[in-house]
Amino acid sequence: MMIYVAVLVVYLGILAVIGMVMSSRSKSAGDFAIGGRSVGPWVTALSFVAAYYSSVVIIGGGAFGWRFGLSTLWVGAGNVLIGTTLAWIVLGRRIRRFTANLDAMTLPGFFAGRYGSESSRIFSAAATGLFLIIYNVSVLKGMANAFEVLMDLPYWAGVVISGVVILFYTAVGGYLAVVWTSMVQALVMIAALVLLTFMSLQHIGGMGELVTRLNAIDPGLVNTPGIWGWAGLISFTLIVSLGTWGMPQLIVRFYSIKDAKMLRVGTVVVTLGASIALLPYLTGAVARVLVPELDSADQAIPALTQLVLNDWGGALFLAGVVAAGMSTFAGVLIIISSSMVRDVWIHGLRRTMTPAAELKANRIMSLAVGVISLLIALRPPALVLVLTAFSWAVIASTNLWPLLFGVYWKRTSPRATLWSMILGVSAALIWFVWPKIGALPSLPATWAGVHGFVVGTAVGLVVIVVGSLIGRPATDTAVQKSWHGTTGTGS
């Protein structure tokens, strides 16, 4: 126990110090929201990995590996190829250029500039903000559960310890503190996952032995799609991979990088870092052999940790899980606060603010949103937990197509963009609540397995394409400014 406490105190202390150091570099709202577009490629890339993989991915990924076996490795491979490398190649350079041309600090701000549409700004800010809070509650809950299992701490103590440290460094240091702490957290996560994978494979006798023993339990744990089936495997891989293309806490990494050229180094670094995505699924499969009797699949990774790691290793792993959760929570907190202040308060409600007042408002808003998330996480109502699984789908349905088409297709219509957001989110929500309303007829069995993300993004795609073909594109001024900037030089 003392070892766990010592490792965590040192680790959380380092994060707090980074927050204090970075507070002196956060002098404006631009510094607070996007680090003044001054972040280097290594920090950008590793902080992307840390924000992408939350504690939910480590614990939940392990649970999937335990339940469905080695076919889940494809989810990790999808995270690296689609969710990371292609996102950087396809979106990175253009988003960096467009947001600099438009002087946009938030994703809703980008929509407003690119399409000349304040309605798109407000809708995106409201939908994203609301569902990101729900997502944040689940992240906080995941961290508290890890404290509970690995340190025997009460749930509330886990929520308070993680929440207070994150709130401190985020409110004080802003985006720069978030990315620098995230870089440290990514390194801790990578070390923890590599250690757990190495030790668990050694414990079981290597990969060959793992495959043999999984085959003996059920060949479906080794084959692809195995016991999961194609529908589940493909739709889950798409949700957690393509979904990242519309997640503002990840997209913001492209705005904040110092120079578009740095995306080259960043793309290689982020791909290597993101490769750890396969490890929770692999270790989950190892856990199926080594700890087959569990009350819940979510216990697979903590139980494996206790079996194969000593106290120092266990403490490092707990730090890794906490790191994964903290970096995601902090990244989301910055997005919500800057979006609420800039997009809703200043532009939506037309309030004027001095730069100093905006920075102060960002700090207060990040504290307020963080405290609200923390209070909900202390006793999460059932609705929050149900909606958590859905928050990713709603946010992606809102932002994915308007963002992708916005940087590639000049003809994209502002009105089609807004309706793509509204109808995409509505379709996803209706799909989600339909089976829960008894009075409605049941969906056919083959359709019922399709996730709301697929429905929401499919509807959004049709609406934006058809609507743009028959509707009016954005004004020439908005298009020229987006593509070439006011000076015509771009960045």
Partner 1 sequence: MAPFGMPWTTFSAFLVLGGTILLAIVWAALDKLRESDDRENAQ
CB of 226 to partner 1, least distance (A): 8
CB of 191 to partner 1, least distance (A): 19
Q: CB-wise, 264 or 484, nearer to partner 1?
A: 264
User: Pattern of binders to partner 1 over 167-206, x per CB under 8 A?
Assistant: ---------------------------------------x
- 8 Å CB contact between 66 and 287: yes
Q: Is residue 234 close enough to count as binding partner 1 by CB under 8 A?
A: no
Residues 243-302 that bind partner 1 (CB under 8 A): 261, 264-265, 267-268, 270-272, 275, 278
Q: At residue 126, what is the residue type? A: A
- Which listed residue (2, 152, 208, 470) binds partner 1 by CB under 8 A? 208
Q: Is residue 223 close enough to count as binding partner 1 by CB under 8 A?
A: yes
In the numeric block, the tokens 């802003």 are attached to 174
Residue range at the interface with partner 1 (CB under 8 A); choices 139-147, 191-199, 216-224, 342-350 = 216-224
Strand partners, 257: 39
CB of 134 to partner 1, least distance (A): 31
Q: CB-wise, 110 or 281, nearer to partner 1?
A: 281
Residues 85-104 that bind partner 1 (CB under 8 A): 85, 88-89
Q: Is residue 19 close enough to count as binding partner 1 by CB under 8 A?
A: no
CB of 395 to partner 1, least distance (A): 24
Phi then psi for residue 39, to 5 deg, are -90, 135
Q: Is residue 351 close enough to count as binding partner 1 by CB under 8 A?
A: no
- 8 Å CB contact between 85 and 271: yes
- 8 Å CB contact between 61 and 452: no
In the numeric block, the tokens 């771009």 are attached to 490
Structure tokens at 412: 């994209």
Q: CB-wise, 45 or 107, nearer to partner 1?
A: 45
Q: CB-wise, 21 or 77, nearer to partner 1?
A: 77
- Which listed residue (14, 130, 164, 211) binds partner 1 by CB under 8 A? 211
CB of 55 to partner 1, least distance (A): 23
Q: CB-wise, 220 or 485, nearer to partner 1?
A: 220
Q: Is residue 80 close enough to count as binding partner 1 by CB under 8 A?
A: yes
CB of 262 to partner 1, least distance (A): 11
Q: Is residue 73 close enough to count as binding partner 1 by CB under 8 A?
A: yes
Residue range at the interface with partner 1 (CB under 8 A); choices 84-92, 171-179, 290-298, 312-320 = 84-92
CB of 266 to partner 1, least distance (A): 9
Rounded CA-CA distance 439/486 in Å is 55
Residue (of 202, 364, 229) closest to 286 by Cα position:
202
CB of 235 to partner 1, least distance (A): 17
CB of 400 to partner 1, least distance (A): 21
Q: Is residue 212 close enough to count as binding partner 1 by CB under 8 A?
A: yes
* Residue numbers at the binding site for partner 1 (CB under 8 A): 70-71, 73-74, 76-77, 80-81, 85, 88-89, 206-208, 210-212, 215, 222-224, 226, 261, 264-265, 267-268, 270-272, 275, 278
